[in-house]
């Protein structure tokens, strides 16, 4: 049997994508709590800023009003948002802080706001917060504040080639790269690991693909099915250790 490739992280991360969205309404406190209950050691969401400067978790970033009209969250005050959209601070309050958290930054100011809230409410969690953006240059102002920074991209968008991208990310202080699962292979994981860049893979739902992706040395996976993901984790890596 082929040997499992090593991960860069001692404990790879199983991120519950938008919470346990296969079983509960996505990006709700209930979905996040269920993701953790099903064994995930990480949560994932998208973060937006309201009109009054509150960081909230939602995917589409719009509020649908009567007659089908949609209004951007950036134009709505926190108090006027639907009750199911949680604040980032509420996530920490309701779900604790013993997990990794991946957040896609959907607003230019959301990254700094997340850092400020975490620094106040859960400073020990800062090293386990992974802030993601499709343009890694956008993340540069957030360097040196304790969080991890992630280049979210696709293989065909890396025009300079993976090795050059890995070198750039290492030089610029971007900690990780996240690509769709079909973009990855063991050789690419090894290449980014050579530059000490963490490798994440998203969009994985089927048990065989989950297990194969862990097998290639991936440092983190994103799945709508936290139970399937963590079963594959245990089958490949053994039981994850508690996050502290």
Q: What are 119's two structure tokens?
A: 């620094």
Per-residue pLDDT tens, the chain, 244 aa: give them. 467 889 999 999 999 999 999 999 999 999 999 999 999 999 999 999 999 999 999 999 999 876 678 899 999 999 999 999 999 999 999 999 999 999 999 998 999 999 999 999 999 999 999 999 999 999 999 999 999 999 999 999 999 999 999 999 999 999 999 999 999 999 999 999 999 999 999 999 999 999 999 999 999 999 999 999 999 999 999 999 889 7
CA distances from 202 to 136, 178, 209 (A): 17, 7, 11
What CATH number does residue 51 fall under?
3.20.20.190
Does residue 5 belong to any structural domain of this protein? no
Does residue 1 belong to any structural domain of this protein? no
Give the integer Cα–Cα distance in Å for 23 and 173: 36
Give the integer Cα–Cα distance in Å for 58 and 56: 7
CB 218 within 8 A of CB 12: yes
Give the integer Cα–Cα distance in Å for 30 and 96: 13
Q: How many domains does the chain have?
A: 1
Give the integer Cα–Cα distance in Å for 204 and 181: 7
Q: What are 210's two structure tokens?
A: 């989950």
Give the integer Cα–Cα distance in Å for 31 and 106: 20
Give the integer Cα–Cα distance in Å for 228 and 16: 10
Does residue 3 belong to any structural domain of this protein? no
Q: Range of 209's domain?
A: 15-237
Give the integer Cα–Cα distance in Å for 37 and 32: 9
Burial class from Cβ neighbours inside 10 Å (0-12, 13-18, 19+) for residue 40 reads buried
Does residue 225 belong to any structural domain of this protein? yes
Provide the whole-model pTM.
0.96
CB 71 within 8 A of CB 55: no
Q: What are 47's two structure tokens?
A: 């973060």
Give the integer Cα–Cα distance in Å for 31 and 226: 11
For 42, the 3-state DSSP assignment is strand
Does residue 7 belong to any structural domain of this protein? no
Does residue 10 belong to any structural domain of this protein? no
Does residue 83 belong to any structural domain of this protein? yes
Give the integer Cα–Cα distance in Å for 203 and 53: 31
Q: What are 117's two structure tokens?
A: 């809230």
């Amino acid at each position: 049997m082929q040997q499992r490739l090593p991960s860069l992280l001692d404990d790879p991360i199983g991120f519950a994508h938008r919470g346990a969205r296969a079983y509960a309404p996505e990006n709700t406190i209930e979905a996040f709590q269920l993701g953790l209950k099903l064994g995930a050691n990480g949560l994932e969401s998208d973060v937006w800023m309201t009109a009054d400067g509150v960081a909230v978790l939602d995917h589409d970033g719009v509020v649908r009003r009567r007659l089908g009209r949609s209004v951007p969250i950036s134009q709505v005050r926190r108090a006027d948002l639907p009750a199911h959209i949680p604040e980032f601070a509420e996530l920490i309050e309701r779900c604790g802080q013993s997990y990794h958290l991946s957040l896609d930054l959907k607003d230019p100011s959301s990254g700094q706001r997340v850092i400020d809230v975490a620094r106040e409410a859960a400073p020990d969690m800062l090293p386990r917060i992974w802030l993601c953006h499709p343009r890694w240059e956008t993340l540069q102002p957030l360097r040196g504040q304790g969080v991890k920074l992630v280049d979210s991209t696709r293989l065909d968008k890396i025009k300079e080639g993976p090795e050059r991208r890995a070198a750039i990310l290492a030089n610029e202080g971007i900690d990780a790269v996240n690509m769709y699962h079909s973009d990855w292979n063991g050789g690419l994981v090894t290449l980014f690991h050579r530059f000490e860049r963490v490798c994440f893979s998203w969009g994985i739902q089927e048990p065989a693909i989950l297990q194969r992706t862990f097998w290639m040395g991936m440092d983190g996976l994103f799945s709508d099915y936290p139970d399937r993901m963590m079963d594959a984790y245990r089958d490949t890596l053994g039981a994850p250790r508690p996050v502290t």
